[in-house]
Amino acid sequence: MSDNPTELTPEVASPANGVATGPGVIAGYLRTLVSQPGVYRMLDTQGTVIYVGKARNLKARVSNYARGNGHSNRIARMISLTASMEFVTVRTEAEALLLEANLIKRFKPRFNVLMRDDKSFPYILIRRDTPAPQIVKHRGARTIKGDYFGPFASAGAVSRAISMLQRAFLLRSCSDSVFEGRTRPCLLFQIKRCAGPCTHEIPDTEYQALVDQAALFLRGESQSVREMYQRLMQEASDALEFERAAKFRNRLWALAHVQADQSINPDNIDEADVFAAHQEGGQTCIQVFFFRAGQNWGNRAYYPKADKSVPVEDVFASFIAQFYDDKPVPRLLLISHDFEDRALMAEALSTKADRKVEIRVPTRGTKSGLVEHALSNAKEALGRKLAETSSQTRLLEGVQERFGLPECPRRIEVYDNSHISGSNAVGAMIVAGPEGFVKSAYRKFNIKSPDTAPGDDYAMMREVLTRRFKRLAETTAAPAPAEPGADPEPMFPDRPDLVVIDGGAGQLSVAQQVLAEVGLEDIPLVGVAKGPDRDAGREHFHVPGNLQSFMLESRDPVLYFIQRLRDEAHRFAIGTHRAKRSKAIGVNPLDEIDGIGPSRRRALLNHFGSAKSVSKAGIEDLKAVEGISEEMAQKVYDFFHERS
């Protein structure tokens, strides 16, 4: 891509009052446009990007929009809402395709195909920045020195692979602080999942050999590793070293388990991603299978957001471009549907990867079977999702009816708090919508206001709700009525249509006060109080303006739905609280003292037995520890006694 793409500014700016829109506004840009490749953005009267597109010839593409007729309903609607445009020229159409994908992910325009669930993929990392390399799960930038293997479809797939690799190669997975603080081998060594490099149960050279063998296996050279272990086992057996032979036999068994777990592992696929799309009921499911080093490393289903009129081929093309915007590209892509710009896409991805990338639509052989298998998975996944969405829609309609809401809720927020006697207090918000739980929208709140008394549930709820809705009030306004012909699938809203509070009349009153203070009192509220003896199914519901609580029928599906929402909020709050508490428990106060590194910390703990004993020691006692100077002893003493 060009390092300095050129921004084109039109001679006519969009009107300040935001009235002029449509083909006339678009035509005004033709006088300054050039016949070069580039990317264009269409903006509405609020300055929001509503569409991003690429063109081989910007002037020709914009003149097509300026005609104002001969377009599909979706494109005509998009043109009618356009109040201004922005342009960037690049050197080639391939660069334009990559820039278009980047801008779509950044702006999320309502008329584009949008890739959802764009989480980074996990990798296996063998760290090489330590004397005893560690095998870990890794996400994000590759800033750590080491060998990276992936991507894997999920964190669970990585964890399973690491567990099996530990069995085969006995690599350590503990953190550096645990590794450096060990004085005897841990349980993983006892159950033969680690070679014990922390206490030198294995020579450094032998451990490095295990690391290299694991790296070879993950690079796809599993056969050479197996042959080596078979040879070593035979040599040990011939030398009557049966215990050593059994060790190699066990590693061969572990390798067999690792390879057996790669369910679809064709011999002639070394590095490829397989894409298959299925469209039904106005939705599209795209299944992606990952093959690296000749092994199947899992699959994931995606449901891109697109207008129902967009054909599956166009959804496919836009999805693939966005998919590789921030991910490494394999040498081969196998796809189920051909699309118009396939050769251009291959050129763009080759430019990005700095090597040749092929995109094929196989029709026979092993590769065709892989695509058929992925397509079958896409059909099944979309069928399940459509069934779940239909059931979820009926439940949301039931919520609207039971609680007298003005419309069927699209976003429900549920709030809960968790603490133990006021310590490590957290608040939690979970979100649900037409497609179930929206985990990307979950939020946790550390209770940190000095005015919040420990254990005061009402004050904690006030702090959580104030922080959430004050920010919402500052950034959004009440939703305007939908315009005729508007996009039938708007983006998931930031503003809730219903707020559910885990609590009775007291918590509900606090929520009412908060919403009134920030000017959002029109958002419906429901309080869910636990029934007698905290029995599920006997919950009492509180709503504003009604002094009497009410209950739902014991077998009402809406009751089960609300219970599920409340239980999910409770699970998320408890999990967040436990993580915070565990982190606090795991903090060693010695780590906070400037100048106390792993060696001095270990010497202090070995000498005194615990950090608590260190905190009670005098300066002379501290000086008696090897490596602790008088200055450092004073610093340790002052650290603990300044705190008291």
| Cβ-based neighbours of 331, under 8 Å, separated by 6 or more | 270, 271, 272, 355, 356, 357, 358
Q: Span 429-451, mean pLDDT? A: 87
Asked if the model's pLDDT at residue 534 lies above 80, the reply is: no
Per-residue confidence at 29, pLDDT binned at 50, 70, 90? very high
pLDDT value, residue 13: 39
Q: Span 94-103, mean pLDDT? A: 92
- In CATH terms, the superfamily for domain 589-643 is 5' to 3' exonuclease, C-terminal subdomain (1.10.150.20)
Report CA-CA distances (Å) from 614 to 3, 160, 582: 57, 40, 22
pLDDT value, residue 16: 41
pLDDT value, residue 478: 46
Residues 103/38, Cβ–Cβ less than 8 Å: no
Please state the separation of Cα 47 from the chain's center in Å: 29
Interatomic CA distance for residues 458 and 511, integer angstroms: 9
Look over the chain and give the mean of its residue pLDDT values, rounded to a whole number: 83
CATH number for 272-383: choose from 3.30.450.20, 3.40.190.170, 3.30.420.340, 3.40.50.1970.
3.30.420.340
Question: Is residue 448 helix, strand or coil?
Answer: coil
- Summarised one tens digit per residue, pLDDT across range 124-180 is 899 988 888 988 888 877 888 898 887 887 777 788 778 877 877 888 888 888 888
Q: Span 223-246, mean pLDDT? A: 77
Interatomic CA distance for residues 390 and 282, integer angstroms: 13
Whether the ω angle into residue 151 lies within 30 degrees of 0, i.e. cis, is yes
Asked if the model's pLDDT at residue 446 lies above 50, the reply is: yes
Question: Is residue 278 helix, strand or coil?
Answer: strand
Domains 272-383 and 589-643 share a fold: no
Question: Is residue 222 helix, strand or coil?
Answer: helix
Residues 195/207, Cβ–Cβ less than 8 Å: yes
Write down the residue that tokens 């922080």 correspond to. 467
Residue boundaries of the structural domains of the chain = 6-107, 272-383, 412-479+493-584, 589-643
Q: Span 441-455, mean pLDDT? A: 81
Q: What percent of the chain has pLDDT over 90?
A: 30
Could you confirm whether domain 412-479+493-584 is CATH 3.30.420.340? yes
The structure tokens listed for 644 are 């008291």
Q: What percent of the chain has pLDDT over 70?
A: 87
Q: Does residue 245 or residue 49 have the better pLDDT? A: 49
pLDDT value, residue 532: 60
pTM over 0.75: no
Could you confirm whether domain 6-107 is CATH 3.40.50.280? no
Amino acid identity, position 482: A
The structure tokens listed for 414 are 């549920």
Which region among 33-37, 249-253, 387-391, 568-572 has the lowest average model confidence (pLDDT)?
249-253
- Summarised one tens digit per residue, pLDDT across range 468-522 is 999 898 876 544 444 444 444 456 788 999 999 988 888 999 999 999 999 998 9
Q: Span 192-210, mean pLDDT? A: 89
Q: How many Cβ atoms sit within 10 Å of the Cβ of residue 36? A: 19
Interatomic CA distance for residues 443 and 554, integer angstroms: 31
Report CA-CA distances (Å) from 47 to 17, 81, 86, 384, 566: 12, 11, 11, 38, 39
Asked if the model's pLDDT at residue 1 lies above 70, the reply is: no
Interatomic CA distance for residues 461 and 463, integer angstroms: 5
Per-residue confidence at 10, pLDDT binned at 50, 70, 90? very low
- Summarised one tens digit per residue, pLDDT across range 593-619 is 778 888 888 888 877 777 777 888 888
The structure tokens listed for 195 are 């070679």
pLDDT value, residue 533: 55
Q: Does residue 272 or residue 269 have the better pLDDT? A: 272
Phi then psi for residue 152, to 5 deg, are: -100, 155
pLDDT value, residue 7: 57
Per-residue confidence at 643, pLDDT binned at 50, 70, 90? very low
Per-residue confidence at 17, pLDDT binned at 50, 70, 90? very low
